[in-house]
Amino acid sequence: MFDFLQGYDLLGAFWVTVQLTVYSAIGSLVWGTLLAAMRVSPVPLMRGFGTVYVNIVRNIPLTVIIVFTSLGLFQTLGVTLGAERFTTINFRLAVLGLTAYTSAFVCEALRSGINTVPLGQVEAARAIGLSFPQILRLIVLPQAFRSVVGPLANVLIALTKNTTVAAAIGVAEAALLMREMIENEAQLILISAIFAAGFLCLTLPTGLFLGWVAKKVAVKR
Amino acid sequence: MKDKPTVLYDVPGPRARRRNLLWTLLFLVGLAAVVWWVVASLADKNQLEWSKWAPFFTDPRVWETYILPALKNTVIAAALAMVIALPLGALLGILRLSDHRAVRGAAGTVVEFFRAIPVLILMLFANAAYSEFTDISPDTRPLYAVVTGLVLYNASVLAEVVRAGILALPAGQTDAAKAIGMRKGQIMLYVLLPQAVTAMLPALVSQLVVIVKDTALGGAMLGFSELLASVRPMSANYGANTIACFTVVAVIFVILNFALTTFASWLERRLRRGKKSTGAVVGAGAVEDLATPGEHPDTR
């Protein structure tokens, strides 16, 4: 029944999906935190930049961003991100696109977390003379992160699902392999079930685990 | 989510003002360097020539042949998906609140399943299924596949929105309806659902943004001729103006979605202020959290 799987690297494709997810998650956590810091900073220009970035990027389809990294950045402007082989270039471009897109959502989640930190915390920090970067680093962000584990987990799951968009620029991840298999094998239902199960295995445990972590680390108030 | 920027820092005194000015200048220099790099590399590849951008301002044929028909397809697919997904989602949402465990469980499984799977996988499946099991012509098949994928995914997200909307209503509504002798179906149909639909309007509109954005997947992977798919033929016909085409398409998406987002938050403010409603509102921001599988706190 599963003979048709011969010759397809199913695990390899899902491994690429996982890699895309992990690299983009790290990238967007860093860039998203920076954006959130900009959006609450005392410098009006940084606040403006953060707001404009988030509002523009959130409203452009991820597919447009990913296809742009290939057609626009790579093929027109010759950006290769230090890679030489086509597959590596496309992979890195996909990570870049996913990071640029996801960080807008990380920023928004984090900002709502910053809003849950009680007034007294920041007032006390200011009273003992901490500067703005110190307040952010030592007082606000640690508490904000703990209260947004849940929303960030949702962003991570959405990111896992969004990595399929990388198929649009030929990154050999799960969705691309699925399209190839559907075209070549007469086993539509079975193939779809396998890929659906694959994504269930990736998203559901992530959600359950991080949901448990969220309860564990939440600041009791 | 209210802004409270003045909480994180004091009103700037002379030193803080100087420091802020310094940071502004540093940031400006960094930003200018990036902009300069972008402009320089664009100019280097001849992407800034006026002839590449002019068609969008001077030649109505670009709009008539490429952009407007593509925009029409985007809007049609999004609207169809919303119109079909909403009743389906309402049904699933209500079934999830059923008194019978079997019904509740079945609806829950369907909802959790379709929320855990990428839309693209659903679209690819629908496309192949239509070509194998039906005789829909290959010209319209991408539209069918895109709408099917979007409906399957969004119906299950909307099911959660409906459920959150119903659960957000004060318990007194159900109690009062029971007290005047209404049956379960009547309570749902005449008391809970009408109020829940009002309460979840902001969430519905912001889900529309997600739907509009996801139509672009059909253009990239299924050959559905929507906005993103119009970039290739456009840049082939107007002298390889890839960057200009992408800019125009992105701007259209941003305007469309920004209008929807603004409308959603206006609705939300209006509903929260309103005297006639029960005060239950499923906010525009809730859909992002409701869109992923797992148990949810019912509203924010």
pLDDT digits (tens, 9 = 90+) for B146-169: 999 999 999 999 999 999 989 989
Instruction: Identify the pLDDT of residue B296.
Output: 53
Q: Given this model, what pLDDT does residue A66 score?
A: 95
User: A88 at the B interface (CB within 8 A)?
Assistant: no
Are A178 and B124 within 8 A, CB to CB? yes
At the top level of CATH, the class of A9-217 is mainly alpha
Those of residues 127-146 in A touching chain B at CB distance below 8 A are 132, 135-136, 140
Token reading at B7:
């909480």
Chain B contact probe: residue of A80, A136, A165, A177 with most B CBs at under 10 A: A165
pLDDT at B6 > cutoff 70: no
Q: In angstroms, what CA-CA distances link B15 with A37, A44, A127, B10?
A: 21, 16, 17, 12
Per the structure block, which two tokens stand in for A171? 């990154």
* pLDDT at site A46: 94
Judged by DSSP in three states, A131 sits in coil
User: Between A and B, how many residue pairs show a Cβ–Cβ distance under 8 A?
Assistant: 189
Tokens of A31: 């860039």
Please state, in angstroms and rounded to a whole number, the distance separating the CA atoms of residues B176 and B154: 33
| pLDDT tens string B244-271 | 999 999 999 999 999 999 998 898 888 8
Mutate to test the interface with A, among B1, B6, B8 (most CBs of A within 10 A): B8
Q: What Cα–Cα distance (Å) separates residue B265 from each residue in A53, B200, B203, B229?
A: 19, 12, 9, 30
Nearest-10 crossing angle of helices A188-217, A174-184:
160
- Measured between beta carbons, which residues in chain B are less than 8 angstroms from residue A140? 8
CA distance B185 to chain A (A): 33
**pLDDT surpasses 70 at B10:** yes
Is pLDDT above 90 for B70? yes
Task: Tell me if A146 sits within 8 A of A216, measured CB to CB.
Answer: no
Is the pLDDT at B274 greater than 80? The verdict is no
Dist CA B36 CA B19 (whole Å): 25
pLDDT of residue B210: 93
Closest-CA distance of chain A to residue B157, Å = 13
pLDDT at A79: 87
What 8-state DSSP symbol labels residue A128? T
Q: Is the pLDDT of residue B241 over 90?
A: no
Report the 10 Å Cβ neighbour count for B149: 28
Highest mean predicted confidence (pLDDT) among B42-51, B66-75, B267-276: B66-75
Radius of gyration of chain B (CA): 24
Q: What value does the mean pLDDT take over residues B266-288? A: 76
Per this entry, what is the length of chain A?
221
| Interval B112-136 mean pLDDT | 93
CA dist B77 and B86 (Å) reads 14
Going by pLDDT thresholds of 50, 70 and 90, the confidence category of residue B285 is confident
Positions of E strands within B134-279: none
* In chain B, % of residues over pLDDT 90: 59
A92 touches chain B (CB under 8 A): no
pLDDT at position B295 = 55
Distance (Å, whole) CA A55 – CA A168? 24
Of B27, B292, B298, which to mutate for an interface test with A (greatest number of A Cβ within 10 Å)? B292
Decide if A157 touches B, using CB distance below 8 A.
yes
pLDDT (tens digit, 9 = 90+) per residue, B71-110? 999 999 999 999 999 999 999 999 999 999 999 999 999 9
Yes or no, beta carbons of B125 and A42 under 8 Å apart: no
Nearest one of A175, A156, A154 to A16, comparing CA atoms: A175
Q: Which residues contact A9 (CB under 8 A, 6 or more apart)?
A: A177
Q: Is B222 helix (H, G, I), strand (E, B) or coil?
A: coil
Report which secondary-structure segment, H or E, holds A97: helix A86-114
Give every residue of chain A whose pLDDT is below 50, as ranges. none
- State how far the Cα of A174 lies from the Cα of A191, in Å rounded to an integer: 11
For Cα atoms B199, B203, B208, give the angle at the middle one, nearest 5 degrees: 135
Tokens encoding B24: 């502004």
The DSSP line for B264-294 is HHHHHHHHHH-SSS-S----TTHHHHHTSSS
As given in the structure block, the two tokens for residue B213 are 């954005």
A61: left (phi over 0), alpha (psi -120 to 50) or beta: beta
Q: Kindly state the average pLDDT of the residues B172-182.
A: 94
The confidence score (pLDDT) of residue A138 equals 94
Indicate the fold that domain B50-290 takes in CATH. Answer: MetI-like fold (1.10.3720)
Q: Where are the domains of chain A?
A: 9-217
| Burial of residue A213, with CB atoms counted within 10 A of its CB: 0-12 exposed, 13-18 middle, 19 or more buried | middle
Q: How far is A163 from chain B (nearest CA, A)?
A: 9
Asked whether residue B1 carries a pLDDT value surpassing 80, the answer given is: no
B170–chain A nearest CA distance, Å: 25
Q: Which residues does chain B have within 8 Å of residue A58's beta carbon, measured at their own beta carbons?
A: 257
pLDDT of res. B275: 61
Query: Given CA atoms B178, B184, B189, B195 in this order, what sign does their dihedral have?
Result: positive
Name the minimum distance, in Å, from the CA of A86 to any CA of chain B: 19
- 3 state DSSP class of B135: coil
pTM of the model as a whole: 0.91
pLDDT confidence of B229, banded at 50, 70, 90? very high
Give the residue from chain B lying closest to A53, CA to CA: B254
Identify the CA nearest to A29 among candidates A117, A112, A109: A109
pLDDT value of position A6 = 80
Please judge whether A61 and B215 are an interchain contact, meaning their C-beta atoms are less than 8 angstroms apart. Answer: yes
Residue B63 has pLDDT above 60, yes or no: yes
Confidence at residue A201, expressed as pLDDT on a 0 to 100 scale? 94
> What is the pLDDT, as a whole number, of residue B216?
94
Q: Do A122 and B31 touch (CB under 8 A)?
A: no
pLDDT for the residue B198: 85
Residue B300 has pLDDT above 80, yes or no: no
Mean pLDDT, chain B, integer: 88
